[in-house]
Each structure stands twice: as structure tokens, then as C-alpha cells.
């Protein structure tokens, strides 16, 4: 981590179909080995399939709702005070909330056995839309850990 100054945020171009920066970030997260056209095809197909599953007429609104349901608000960070290490609950910045939700959704979609990525992603997004599934469980576990360590909140700085 640089001690000089904060890194500047780069402006991301919105995707060509939905004109959304969130979808572009999601595509970049799905992408492996620089194969962006394959990642776009996977995400767009998964969004169409997901919209049919949840009976949404606009896939982007349903996608944003699923993302919002998967975003955590609290997490724990380790702080060393004296000789002891405490798990201190802190609020999460909006960019990190979005990043964590994307990471969890994609990793859980990849871990679905016997499914291709399009089906796994559509299933995971529909689970997030309905507030169930592995991603929501991960979010709840993160919140539960922060709630359990609420006594150490005064170590936050």
C-alpha cells in the first residue's frame, strides 16, 4: 500500500447492451485469461435466463436487486492492541460492498457441480434475488461475525 497518496479511480465504460457500469464490472470479474468476449456472452446469457426465471421484464433492474440483496453492510477487521488481536466490526464502503457481492456470486456460481457457468450464474442470481442460497448465507455469516464482536467496536479508528 502506497504511503504517498490514494490511487485514483479509473472511469469504467458502461457495457454496450444495458449501458450499466455495474454490468461491466461484473463482466470483468467473470473474465478469465483475458477472454472478454466469452465473459460477455456468459453474463448476457445468464442475465436473460435469470430474468426469465424471476419473471422480470427488465433484467438490469432484477440484477441490481439481486446485487443489493447480496451486499454486506458490516465486516470484521483484525486490530492488534497490546498483545491481543481483536476482530473489530466496521462498516463497509460502497465500492467494497459491491466488490464482495460480485466475488461471492461468481465464486458460488463456479462451484456449482454439473452446471455450465451460464446456468450456475443464473441460478445464483435468482437465489440472491429471492434472498436465499450460498451467497446470502455468506453475507449473513459476515453480519453474524460482526454482531458477535460488537463489544470490540470501540477499537475502531
Q: Please check whether residue 153 is in contact with residue 79, taking contact to mean a CB–CB distance below 8 angstroms.
A: no
3-state SS record for 116-154: CHHHHHHHHHHHHHCCCCHHHHHHHHHHHHHHHCHHHHH
Q: What three-state secondary structure class fits 86?
A: strand
Q: Answer yes or no: is pLDDT of 84 > 70.
A: yes
The alpha carbons of the chain give a radius of gyration, in whole angstroms, of: 18
- For the stretch 96-152, pLDDT in tens is 999 999 999 999 999 988 889 999 999 999 999 999 999 999 999 999 999 998 888
Task: Report all structural domains of the chain as residue ranges with CATH numbers, in order of start.
Answer: 21-155 (1.10.455.10)
* Gap between the Cα atoms of 26 and 87, Å rounded: 30
156: pLDDT strictly greater than 80: no
pTM over 0.85, yes/no: yes
Q: What confidence tens digit (pLDDT) does each residue in 4-63 have?
A: 998 898 999 999 999 999 999 999 999 999 999 999 999 999 999 999 999 989 999 999
Are the C-beta atoms of residues 88 and 156 closer than 8 Å to each other? yes
Amino acid at each position: 500500500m502506497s504511503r504517498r497518496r490514494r490511487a485514483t479511480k479509473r472511469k469504467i465504460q458502461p457495457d454496450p447492451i444495458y449501458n450499466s457500469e455495474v454490468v461491466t464490472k461484473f463482466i470483468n470479474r467473470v473474465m478469465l485469461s483475458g477472454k472478454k468476449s466469452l465473459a460477455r456472452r456468459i453474463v448476457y446469457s445468464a442475465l436473460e435466463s435469470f430474468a426469465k426465471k424471476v419473471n422480470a421484464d427488465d433484467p438490469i433492474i432484477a440484477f441490481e436487486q439481486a446485487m443489493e440483496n447480496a451486499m454486506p453492510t458490516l465486516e470484521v477487521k483484525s486490530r492488534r492492541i497490546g498483545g491481543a488481536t481483536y476482530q473489530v466490526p466496521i462498516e463497509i464502503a460502497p465500492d467494497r460492498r459491491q466488490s464482495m457481492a460480485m466475488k461471492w456470486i461468481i465464486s458460488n456460481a463456479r462451484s456449482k457441480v454439473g452446471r455450465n457457468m451460464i446456468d450456475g450464474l443464473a441460478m445464483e442470481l435468482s437465489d440472491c434475488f429471492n434472498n436465499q442460497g450460498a451467497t446470502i448465507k455468506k453475507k449473513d455469516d459476515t453480519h453474524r461475525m460482526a454482531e458477535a464482536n460488537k463489544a470490540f467496536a470501540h477499537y475502531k479508528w
